[in-house]
C-alpha cells in the first residue's frame, strides 16, 4: 500500500479562506494521484470537519452531500462564505484604486490584478490593468514617460514603470552616498535664515 503524500486538516473559517483550502485539497489530489471525481468528493466530505459538513448538508438540502459533485460542493460553500460581488461595484473599486505612498510598482500591479478578479474584463483585462497603472501610479516622473508612448501594451508599461522606479531609487542612493542629497529639514532651516536676512535688509 502506497503511503499518502501530505496531510489534510479540517476547514476552519477563522484560519483561512475557503478558496485556499480547496486549492490545498487539489494539490493533495495531484500529489496522491486522486483523479476520480467521486473520490475527490468523498475526501472533501471526510476531512472538511463536522461544522463544515453540517453547513454543506444544510446548503445542499433536500439533496444529500453525496449526491453533489466535488465542484458543486465547492461552489455552495464559496457562495455562502464569499458571495460573488456585483460586477459594477468591483469595477468601481478597480477604476478608483490608486497607488499609495511606499507601495512599489509590482505591488500596485498585484493589487490591481486582485481587484480585477470579479470585474469580468475578459479579453481586455491587460488593457484595463495598463490603464489603471498609468492613471493611478501617483508619480509624475513615471506617468509622463508612459503617457508619451504612442503604443503601450501592458508588458511595456510595466517595464517602463519599473525601470523609472529603479532609476529613482538608484539616483537617491547615489546622492545619499556622495552627500549631495540634503534632508528636507536642512532646506527648511536654510530658507528660514534667508528670509530673516531679507527682512533685516528691508528694515
Higher-pLDDT residue of 203 and 47 is 47
Residue 2: exposure state from Cβ atoms within 10 A (0-12, 13-18, ≥19):
exposed
- What's the predicted TM-score (pTM) here? 0.55
Instruction: Give the separation between CA 136 and CA 133, rounded to whole angstroms.
Output: 5
Q: Same domain, yes or no, for 55 and 129? A: no
Whether residue 203 is contained in a domain is answered as no
Instruction: Give the separation between CA 50 and CA 45, rounded to whole angstroms.
Output: 9
Which tens digits make up the pLDDT trace of 76-126?
Answer: 999 888 777 789 999 999 999 999 999 999 999 999 999 998 899 999 999
Which tens digits make up the pLDDT trace of 24-35?
Answer: 999 999 999 999
Higher-pLDDT residue of 13 and 126 is 126
Residue range of the domain that includes 74 = 13-81
Three-state secondary structure of 6-68: CCCCCCCHHHCCHHHHHHHHHHHHHHCCCCCHHHHHHHHHHHCCHHHHHHHHHHHCCCCHHHC
Whether residue 198 is contained in a domain is answered as no
SS3 label, residue 149: coil
Q: Same domain, yes or no, for 57 and 92? A: no
Whether residue 8 is contained in a domain is answered as no
Q: What is the pLDDT of residue 198?
A: 53
Which tens digits make up the pLDDT trace of 159-169?
Answer: 999 999 999 99
Q: Same domain, yes or no, for 74 and 104? A: no
Residue 185 banded pLDDT, cuts 50, 70, 90 = very low
Residue 194 has pLDDT above 70, yes or no: no
Q: Same domain, yes or no, for 157 and 135? A: yes
Q: Same domain, yes or no, for 71 and 91? A: no
Residue 186 has pLDDT above 50, yes or no: no
Q: What is the pLDDT of residue 100?
A: 95
Mean pLDDT of all residues in 38-60 = 94
Instruction: Give the separation between CA 148 and CA 121, rounded to whole angstroms.
Output: 25
Q: Same domain, yes or no, for 54 and 101? A: no
How far, rounded to the nearest angstrom, does the alpha carbon of residue 79 sit from its chain's CA centroid? 21
Instruction: Give the separation between CA 41 and CA 81, rounded to whole angstroms.
Output: 19
Amino acid at each position: 500500500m502506497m503511503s499518502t503524500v501530505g496531510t489534510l486538516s479540517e476547514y476552519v473559517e477563522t484560519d483561512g479562506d475557503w478558496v485556499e483550502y480547496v486549492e490545498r485539497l487539489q494539490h493533495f489530489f495531484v500529489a496522491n494521484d486522486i483523479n476520480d471525481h467521486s473520490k475527490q468528493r468523498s475526501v472533501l466530505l471526510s476531512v472538511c470537519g463536522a461544522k463544515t459538513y453540517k453547513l454543506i448538508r444544510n446548503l445542499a438540502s433536500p439533496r444529500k452531500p453525496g449526491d453533489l459533485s466535488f465542484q458543486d460542493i465547492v461552489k455552495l460553500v464559496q457562495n455562502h462564505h464569499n458571495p460573488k460581488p456585483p460586477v459594477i461595484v468591483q469595477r468601481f473599486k478597480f477604476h478608483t484604486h490608486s497607488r499609495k505612498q511606499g507601495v512599489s510598482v509590482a505591488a500596485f500591479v498585484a493589487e490591481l490584478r486582485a481587484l480585477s478578479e470579479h470585474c469580468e474584463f475578459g479579453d481586455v483585462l491587460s488593457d484595463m490593468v495598463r490603464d489603471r497603472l498609468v492613471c493611478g501610479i501617483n508619480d509624475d516622473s513615471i506617468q509622463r514617460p508612459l503617457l508619451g508612448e504612442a503604443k503601450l501594451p501592458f508588458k511595456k508599461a510595466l517595464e517602463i514603470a519599473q525601470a523609472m522606479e529603479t532609476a529613482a531609487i538608484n539616483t537617491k542612493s547615489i546622492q545619499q552616498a556622495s552627500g549631495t542629497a540634503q534632508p528636507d529639514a536642512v532646506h527648511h532651516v536654510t530658507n528660514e535664515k534667508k528670509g530673516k536676512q531679507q527682512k533685516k535688509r528691508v528694515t
